[in-house]
A and B are shown apart, each in its own frame.
Chain A
Amino acid sequence: MSKDPQSLRGAVQAKTKFRDKFTAWQLHHRQSARESLGRILQSPLASLMTCLVVAIALALPTTLLVALNNLQILGDSWDANPKISVFINVRAREEAVRQLQKDLQAFAEINDVEYISPEQALQEFQAMSGFGEILGFLDENPLPPTLVVTPVSSIVEPASLKTLAMKIGEKPIVDTVDLDMDWVRRLQELMVLGRKIVTALAGLLSLGVLLSLGNTIRLAIESRKEEIIITKLVGGSNGFVRRPFLYSGAWYGFLGGVVACILVFAGFSSIKGTVANLAAAYQSQFFLQGLGFSGNLGLLAVSTILGLMGAWLAVGRHLSEIEPR
């Protein structure tokens, strides 16, 4: 194939032209970003108001979500391994109890079975309850032998735990099986409900952010109507006209997000000490978890995207209405 210098030149030209266009496009993005930030900073008070609206609307559900996460951590640490207490008939012989321990150990659903003899139980009770002297007056040990069953970690739902408890309860020497699941279940269900409420709240407040930023951008478009018309008259594309407004929206969202991060941080910092004291009083290792690095980053991303979307809504609705007549 012969190389046609003419067509080669054409290809090179097209390539440079594309590169020029790309460079110009990048340049306009940079300019739009800088210019729209400049405009926001030009009227600091009005911009601060807008950012505060965004920040408060986002900080509220974020705080609730972080609080829920903390509750979850607290719940998990209390209930990492739900235990089943199996009280054996006081008249059962120790060998029978040992045999039962072995039998239970063989269950696929059971991870570990601990045997607590009546004597051990009495000692623990005396040590912990402070009733030691009174217990000394008793003729015989009233406490039954107990097996503490730890199910395998895959069994966590209340229903399967209940099934397991019932299975254990069928053994002849077993008196009662105590599965104190109610508070765990309630906590879990409350948590699910809480999450649903927070999600709905977050959705509503995000919609609020979207609309209020959309309105801010609409006003900006309105005030720069003349410029838009002239730009369109001298050949500005819709993308060119749209760009600075989209950047404004993104900036408002981002700056609002920064303020929201600060608000959440300040809020949690102010109660951190109190919570630590409270946890210490309950001998808990628990400490309050803040938003964290990825949480802050996520909040900023969400707020920026919300700003961009709000601007997009306003721009889509109002920019096409402004045409040179």
Chain B
Amino acid sequence: MIEFSNVSKRYPTGHEALSRVNLNVGEDEMVFLTGHSGAGKSTLMKLIMLMERPSAGQVVIGGRNLNRMRAGQIPLHRRQVGVVFQNHQLLFDRNVFENVALPLRIAGYGSREIARRVRAALDKVSLLDREKVNPITLSGGEQQRVGIARAVVNKPPLLLADEPTGNLDPELSAEIMKLFRQFNEVGVTILIASHDVELIRAMDCRVLSLSQGQLVYDGFLV
């Protein structure tokens, strides 16, 4: 599902965020990406989202070579990748329902189908009774769950999560992780960037570790 071959990313400032990274994440896998801040986690995520282009090497997602993707094809690619952000990135000018419905509206679903899918996603994150409220009134954990519902409402084969539990207490974090595991069990490939070692250890998943832009560890924590 995710293939990096010899991928380097050098920013115009000269900073090399990733250098010659090789990795392969198969379908149905759930993988953690760790490393100190500045190790290149975000850059790796951005390359998958096509928010950045690699300076060298190839990124292939779901069999599609991103290097060959033209600007016009980027939106279609992003619809295949669900993203959960650390700061939720919710819109406070509309209610929970509309926040979750955004990817479906973009993809052009009819309103009945949108209602069905949004409710299913909200049900999944146990927020069905909150669809009419403004997300600003929700707690941090609830906002994050709205963000997750939005990321999965379009049923993407790949889900990225950038520090999804960064601002949450351990109990809420565990709850969020349980959700990710459930999605993984129905076949969604999941890549979670996190530096919460305790949490990662508890989840018992494959771990990719970055340090100064290089992949320094790939395997299960022992």
- Contact surface of A with B, Cβ cutoff 8 Å: 20-21, 23-25, 27-28, 31, 226-227, 229-238, 240, 323-325
Contacts and interface: CB of A to CB of B under 8 A. Distances in A.
Contacts, number: 61
B108 A234 contact: no
A236 B106 contact: yes
B79 A235 contact: yes
Contacts of B110: 20, 23-24, 27
7 contacts: A24-B107, A28-B105, A229-B89, A235-B78, A238-B75, A240-B75, A240-B106
A230 B91 contact: yes
A234 B78 CA distance: 6
Interface of B: 49, 51, 72, 75-79, 83, 89, 91, 93, 102-103, 105-111, 150, 154
B78 A227 contact: no
B188 to A, nearest CB: 16
Nearest to A325: B51
Contact of B76 (A23, A226, A235): A235
A240 B93 CA distance: 18
- The 10 A-B residue pairs whose C-beta atoms are closest, nearest first, are A24-B108, A235-B79, A235-B78, A237-B75, A234-B103, A236-B106, A235-B75, A230-B89, A324-B51, A235-B106
B159 to A, nearest CB: 12
Contact of B108 (A20, A227, A231, A323): A20
Contacts of A232: 75, 78
A237 B72 CA distance: 8
Contact of B109 (A24, A229, A230, A238): A24
Given A24-B109, A28-B108, A226-B91, A234 B102 contact: yes
Nearest to A226: B91
Nearest to B73: A237
Nearest to B75: A237
A234 B83 contact: yes
Contacts of B106: 231, 234-237, 240
B108 A233 contact: no
A238 B154 CA distance: 19
Contacts of B111: 27
Contacts of A233: 49, 51, 78, 83, 89
A121 B83 CA distance: 98
A301 to B, nearest CB: 30
Contacts of B102: 230-231, 234
A231 B109 CA distance: 15
A23 B51 CA distance: 30
Contacts of A231: 102, 106
B79 A234 contact: yes
A313 to B, nearest CB: 20
Contacts of B109: 24
Name the residue among B49, B51, B75, B78 with the largest chain A CB count within 10 angstroms.
B75
Contacts of B51: 233, 323-325
Contacts of A323: 51
A232 B75 CA distance: 7
B93 A227 contact: yes
B91 A227 contact: yes
A25 B78 contact: no
A225 B5 CA distance: 34
Name the residue among A21, A24, A323 with the largest chain B CB count within 10 angstroms.
A24
B91 to A, nearest CB: 6
